[in-house]
Structure 1
């Protein structure tokens, strides 16, 4: 088992991970840390570690340049044989690479204390020191070893690694080669809790439990033929399909860990104390045969993982199983149960695989409906209970079902059969709701079905080379389009009106379902198309093909292509080691998944444009230029929209936030601390002011003196306006200090500054404020802030301005510039609103 590698002709998608792999069939390595036991399993070119307590995946190792041939584990170290080298990891950290001694692939690894022993295919044995990687010894026994074991307390008593000599040889009378002998684990496992039990794993996948004192088989987990005589013990399903790669009893516990040689699984078994019977405890498994169909499942929302359509996959394979897999968490992978059907078929079939449903041909989700090879019945599934739903959907008249689809609302399922008929079923009740008329059916088998997002149209294609549109309510034929060639499959993106048809002439025809005309014809494939998928926005179309005959292979025969449909251009391709059989794209376009022949993995590819980090370079200087691009353009202030809205509606906000109870007077400070008004500390009052006192007469006297001296208590805005008054008729830079100050104020502070403009009895500050607004309207800068300030100013000081003769010229100029600006904006705004209303009516 291996993950297909790819030759890339474009970097749109990059490899992300492989989903559904549990064990590649090599013997596993078991190590104990305290009270926890961990198992390391090979995945081809990488490895993963499970905690045996719940078989939870705890770590996935880095990718290696070649396939793994042997595994070992000791303390925190993971030993991996890769070609002629042994790689030592401590978690993900590379500790050492042991190489330079072996000339043939390493077949066996064994950890002994701080040393590791490796044996290659020629029989050369090398001992290495950890973590330095120095060679501690080497010897060649004269034969190629088929198994390796180190009995406890037998250091240098069978083979002396330091002197490279054989110390002892067991005498035996067998005429055959020894294929396995061990004390702990390989295909034999002894219980280590003091019980006289031995478990052996067979090439058939059976497990046999032996009682050592009685020298007899106490229990067997294997399938038995139905033709055996009466009285024979009833057979049980084998532990693994395709043989047992290794078995291991956990130290001091009656729990057996087994790894399959070909079924991509790890299983834990509980051993009975008295009878030795093995019962299933827990397990992790993937597809036992390469998956042939994979689709994203978009039925649910999952906490922390976003929409379910972007995290979960539904896949079916040659092992006749339907599985749901998670891109993020291997713990969520599961097989959808077929218990109801396997029980019904158990009286007629002998093996577990033959009791399952036939291989899945097509799949529709939300929820799930499948059709199977040669079956006249479609099956509905419940992903909540992870099992078959109560209802089965039969074709009428009876014929093999070749295509299925589910409506966008999820209430109805559509079935297409080999005789061209189409049926409609209610998924909740399982009752038929409509059927296509006999004279309107396809003349050949229905090859594809798809339901539109609006629920008003059902698309179908068939072997007769036609694309047909149906009214889903009663399955009445609406229109027919001649494709020109028999169609193999149909793919529709519900967010668009495009339909992709894979034709038998090795091309993909993209049809406009509304106009019923050919939009694009994608050619250049050299063999039958195995799958077609749409991108997230229906702009890209992905295709994959079956392996081409050797004589037809060329440098242009790619296994997966991506085409930009609007331009019809090939924008990316990938050529795989194994041909792709199925392809699917996540609803958001983040991931693309493929299934391949001779591989039990589902390969996940990540979109490079979406996940690639942006460069850290500076933006072009044009984006940093704050000057007006054109004198006739209206430029905004770059303040948040909430800032301007809060200024305009500040009175309503304050009224809403008014406390229910009046504020309580704070407690007086201690007598030895003076109480000062304000949040900031201030100096003590001048002696003269202190002598005057704080009475009404003293305050009026101080105010009169300040007015006479021209030193009124102006706010910061008033001071800036007075400083800029002589330059209002000059360049715009004269008012920049005032506008910069206004941009730094929050809504409450700006409102307070506008209110302070009316404290001057002469109205001089209001006139200066109007002159500032006129100047800003002339420059057309900070447009929305100017409008908000004007709104608040007129609301607060409108009456005062009407009674101030000096403000009349400024008000007239303000009205002229305001009307001129609005007239320029009014025409394009009304034009855009008209076009938007027209387009909205066309779309609806």
Structure 2
């Protein structure tokens, strides 16, 4: 049952590609698919590294992945989940008491090994256990396993103690024990030659060993310690690839028994797995640095180059902001000094703007990119604008502890060449940048420093334009700086608790200032409405009006430092996040807390979509960014003021796609949804609420039919035999309401009247005088059906004068009830237009018209009086303003 926020619903996560679990490759008819783990989910990528499927959510983090011909296996905690196509769960295998860390598909069986070195062989079809072996970590802690080619019913197990054992799982017997090489076995792989296995050790050695003869054929040693993975090319080249914990990949020439080539710093973290694709010069690798990469051997020297990559931030993001007006692109920065673009529509458009560097050219020429001395400190805050993004850089960023401000280009997806430094300041006043803002026109950047100075620069050239204050704006740290949308006023906030307003052009001219009781933490602006959220270090938020230079709202409710805040596009809501793991939504007009929820880990950055349809959040120690749908966009949500003392409900992070349906709402939430009554007062005129297309064009229905008439003739349906009763209507239907006498083939006598179903319903009201069912029936008809039914009431159309009189009484009933006023007027207009001649000839109908006229006049006079009164009041208010 979903509880928590009434406004925001978990949607999905972005930027997660891979974690420390090794990638697995599954061969299908149209190529290969790659399966990676991202916590409680696994992602499926095609051979172009495009995301094609996301699994269902597991109850715990995935610890191991494997696949067979028809099934995909994922181990989460002590259980193993068997999936058909990654979406349909076939079995859950439950027997292990510890987490499973190794799985080997073995025909119709599955071999699983947990952290206690307990081996279980499963019959996947029946979910039954075929064999159990308990090795024990003290004697033989299993760290690697594989099935040697051509060795029927046998597996080779490697241990942390260094020894290896060959087992027959069919007879559960130990065939042979290999002494090992005095080092823990970290990985095992089948070599292209039969009987030969590649063994990776913790001391960095790679052993090619003949299992049949128990002879070592060759031995290699990599310089970066533990061997994490081994793979062999099968396209005719004698190349072996090995991965290391340092992120390097080494390619060995087995014929020459030496290093063929190296890919230094192929990954930032350890290489989890290497897989050479069958009969292709391609190697696939993944790492805990949140990347999946594909390498191809097509260089002139035979070396490998990066062919495709799918990656995200290698460390958790620290600041996220929407860019543009369509709400599709999210800018994100993280502690690895990189800036990335995440697209909410498709992952194909995700891009990296690169890594911040003091010297980009020198960084590109480095051989060891993992130890880049030119890398700049992480970005702590940035600002972006779309106005001039085609002409010059449109993103400005400040770095941790640096005085220089860097510029970036969203259009070119790269870091700019400008380094904006403080202008003519003494060494003791230079300090480092602490606050930044871009003008709405995209021409200027405002920078605040920890020394109290605030300066304005040109974004295109980086030239100094103005300084604010005499000589500086504040005595200490500048915590926030911004300007209005028309570049008239600059607002600054400092650690001294002052908010100051300066003229944009003349920085020496201080217009006004506000003193707050506590130091300022940061600013968040909504330029279109000229309001600024000023967050203080006492966990309160002040809303400041730039035009009037005063505080207009104050919010208190957080119990820990506020990490970020964002306005909704219409500036009615302010969403704030705190280190107490809560996210609160404040209604600015009423100054009330209207929504709150809590997550497992604190939200360190958030932003609202420019279209208002989503909220994006970044959380502590999480690689990806998370999207939350705004429920008020697609359904009615009743919001009321919440008590500040209430504890927010815990909500799970949106790790998978899906929204909460109304069926999953609690009874309390359903009860709180306000439903308007059908009629507020019996004295007031009430409209039906039906779409205007259902009644507005009834008088012009013939013109509409002639315009919509098709060129081709419509085939006339075959008529039913004369002895089968039919219902006279636009749709061909048999009359099943008449029951025949049992045991007799003679039909009972029926009325000679050829009335439609609606006319029959109307005819029944002669006795009951209750028109409620008739009104409901009319509301279900479309315009053409209404026109047909009304025209069928006359004697020429198959009706009678009595039925026509009942229709007039129906109109009178609707007018007197003060409901469905527009429908009654419309139906009456069609009736008078169609049957004017009949009414003039029949005295019964003619004499009833004055009753309708009096009802109509009374209703219209009441409606006209209310309309005229309202118009006069509105006009009077306009005149006074």
- Normalising by the residue count of structure 1, what TM-score does the alignment of the two structures yield? 0.72
Please state if 1:154 is matched with 2:151.
yes
The secondary structure found in structure 2 opposite 1:54 is coil
Please state if 1:359 is matched with 2:410.
no
Please state if 1:144 is matched with 2:141.
yes
The answer as to whether partners of 1:715 and 1:753 remain within 8 angstroms in 2 is: no
Against the structure 1 CA distance between its residues 118 and 823, is the aligned structure 2 distance closer, same or farther, given a 3 Å change threshold?
closer
Please state if 1:179 is matched with 2:198.
no
CA displacement, residues 85-135 of structure 1 (integer Å, 9 cap, x when unaligned) = 3333232233333333x4443332222322322333343333333233323
Q: Distance in 1 between matches of 2:282 and 2:458?
A: 47
Q: Determine which of 763, 766, 784 is the counterpart of 2:822.
A: 784
CA displacement, residues 603-655 of structure 1 (integer Å, 9 cap, x when unaligned) = 333456755433599999x99998x8755322435554235442456698689
Against the structure 1 CA distance between its residues 828 and 243, is the aligned structure 2 distance closer, same or farther, given a 3 Å change threshold?
same
The secondary structure found in structure 2 opposite 1:168 is strand
CA displacement, residues 503-551 of structure 1 (integer Å, 9 cap, x when unaligned) = 122322234555522422314423x3221233565554433334xxxxx
Q: Determine which of 6, 10, 29 is the counterpart of 2:24.
A: 29
- Provide the residue aligned with 2:649 in structure 1: none
Against the structure 1 CA distance between its residues 637 and 507, is the aligned structure 2 distance closer, same or farther, given a 3 Å change threshold?
closer
The answer as to whether partners of 1:396 and 1:423 remain within 8 angstroms in 2 is: no
Aligned pairs (5 A) from 1:85-164: 85-90=79-84, 91-100=86-95, 102-131=96-125, 132-138=127-133, 140=135, 142-155=139-152, 156=154, 159-162=166-169, 163-164=171-172
Q: Determine which of 340, 346, 371 is the counterpart of 1:329.
A: 346
- Provide the residue aligned with 2:616 in structure 1: 593
Please state if 1:209 is matched with 2:251.
yes
Q: Distance in 2 between matches of 1:596 and 1:795?
A: 68
**Residue 319 of structure 1: how far off its partner (Å):** 1.0
CA displacement, residues 396-438 of structure 1 (integer Å, 9 cap, x when unaligned) = 5676443344455x54454222144252646xx5577964544
Q: Determine which of 561, 566, 591 is the counterpart of 1:533.
A: 566
- Provide the residue aligned with 1:403 in structure 2: 435
Q: Determine which of 658, 683, 707 is the counterpart of 1:632.
A: 683
Gaps of 5+ in 2: 156-164, 192-197, 199-227, 387-393, 636-658, 723-753, 797-802
- Provide the residue aligned with 2:446 in structure 1: 415
Q: Distance in 2 between matches of 1:86 and 1:741?
A: 59
Q: Distance in 2 between matches of 1:842 and 1:315?
A: 50
The answer as to whether partners of 1:48 and 1:60 remain within 8 angstroms in 2 is: yes
- Provide the residue aligned with 1:74 in structure 2: 68
Gaps of 5+ in 1: 1-6, 223-237, 301-308, 547-556, 670-676, 684-713, 760-764
Q: Distance in 2 between matches of 1:439 and 1:54?
A: 59
Alignment coverage as a number of residue pairs: 747
Q: Determine which of 510, 514, 537 is the counterpart of 1:481.
A: 514
Q: Distance in 1 between matches of 2:54 and 2:717?
A: 62
Cα root mean square deviation, aligned? 5.4
**Residue 489 of structure 1: how far off its partner (Å):** 1.3
Range with bigger deviation, 557-566 or 272-281? 557-566
Please state if 1:251 is matched with 2:278.
yes
Higher strand share: 2
The answer as to whether partners of 1:777 and 1:818 remain within 8 angstroms in 2 is: yes
CA displacement, residues 338-387 of structure 1 (integer Å, 9 cap, x when unaligned) = 69976335289874565455422223344352312145554554444433
Against the structure 1 CA distance between its residues 277 and 842, is the aligned structure 2 distance closer, same or farther, given a 3 Å change threshold?
farther
Q: Determine which of 816, 829, 832 is the counterpart of 2:870.
A: 832
- Provide the residue aligned with 1:689 in structure 2: none
Q: Determine which of 623, 626, 630 is the counterpart of 1:603.
A: 626
**Residue 829 of structure 1: how far off its partner (Å):** 2.3
CA displacement, residues 442-476 of structure 1 (integer Å, 9 cap, x when unaligned) = 31444334566687766543334233456768777
- Provide the residue aligned with 2:206 in structure 1: none
Against the structure 1 CA distance between its residues 812 and 333, is the aligned structure 2 distance closer, same or farther, given a 3 Å change threshold?
same
Q: Distance in 1 between matches of 2:434 and 2:880?
A: 37
Against the structure 1 CA distance between its residues 272 and 841, is the aligned structure 2 distance closer, same or farther, given a 3 Å change threshold?
farther
Q: Distance in 2 between matches of 1:715 and 1:164?
A: 85
The answer as to whether partners of 1:209 and 1:276 remain within 8 angstroms in 2 is: no
Against the structure 1 CA distance between its residues 216 and 586, is the aligned structure 2 distance closer, same or farther, given a 3 Å change threshold?
same
- Provide the residue aligned with 1:521 in structure 2: 555
Against the structure 1 CA distance between its residues 817 and 397, is the aligned structure 2 distance closer, same or farther, given a 3 Å change threshold?
farther
Q: Distance in 2 between matches of 1:837 and 1:395?
A: 56
Q: Could you say which structure has the larger radius of gyration?
A: 1
Q: Distance in 1 between matches of 2:167 and 2:804?
A: 104
Q: Distance in 2 between matches of 1:732 and 1:216?
A: 102
The secondary structure found in structure 2 opposite 1:489 is strand
The answer as to whether partners of 2:480 and 2:494 remain within 8 angstroms in 1 is: yes
- Provide the residue aligned with 1:491 in structure 2: 524
Q: Distance in 1 between matches of 2:83 and 2:536?
A: 50
Against the structure 1 CA distance between its residues 190 and 499, is the aligned structure 2 distance closer, same or farther, given a 3 Å change threshold?
same
Q: Distance in 2 between matches of 1:742 and 1:42?
A: 54
Aligned pairs (5 A) from 1:288-307: 288-300=314-326
**Residue 50 of structure 1: how far off its partner (Å):** 2.0
Please state if 1:509 is matched with 2:560.
no
Aligned pairs (5 A) from 1:665-744: none
The answer as to whether partners of 1:732 and 1:775 remain within 8 angstroms in 2 is: no
Q: Distance in 1 between matches of 2:866 and 2:376?
A: 64
**Residue 244 of structure 1: how far off its partner (Å):** 1.3
Q: Distance in 2 between matches of 1:656 and 1:469?
A: 64
Range with bigger deviation, 483-492 or 383-392? 383-392
- Provide the residue aligned with 1:315 in structure 2: 332
The answer as to whether partners of 2:357 and 2:376 remain within 8 angstroms in 1 is: no
CA displacement, residues 219-275 of structure 1 (integer Å, 9 cap, x when unaligned) = 1222xxxxxxxxxxxxxxx10012212111111111011112x31111111124884
- Provide the residue aligned with 1:583 in structure 2: 606
The answer as to whether partners of 1:299 and 1:366 remain within 8 angstroms in 2 is: no
Against the structure 1 CA distance between its residues 215 and 274, is the aligned structure 2 distance closer, same or farther, given a 3 Å change threshold?
farther
**Residue 495 of structure 1: how far off its partner (Å):** 6.4
**Residue 280 of structure 1: how far off its partner (Å):** 0.6
Q: Determine which of 598, 604, 614 is the counterpart of 1:574.
A: 598
The secondary structure found in structure 1 opposite 2:285 is strand
The answer as to whether partners of 1:197 and 1:276 remain within 8 angstroms in 2 is: no
Q: Distance in 2 between matches of 1:325 and 1:452?
A: 28
The secondary structure found in structure 1 opposite 2:146 is coil
**Residue 496 of structure 1: how far off its partner (Å):** 5.1
The answer as to whether partners of 1:559 and 1:573 remain within 8 angstroms in 2 is: yes
Q: Distance in 1 between matches of 2:780 and 2:291?
A: 65
Q: Distance in 2 between matches of 1:771 and 1:570?
A: 50
Please state if 1:465 is matched with 2:460.
no
Range with bigger deviation, 514-523 or 560-569? 560-569
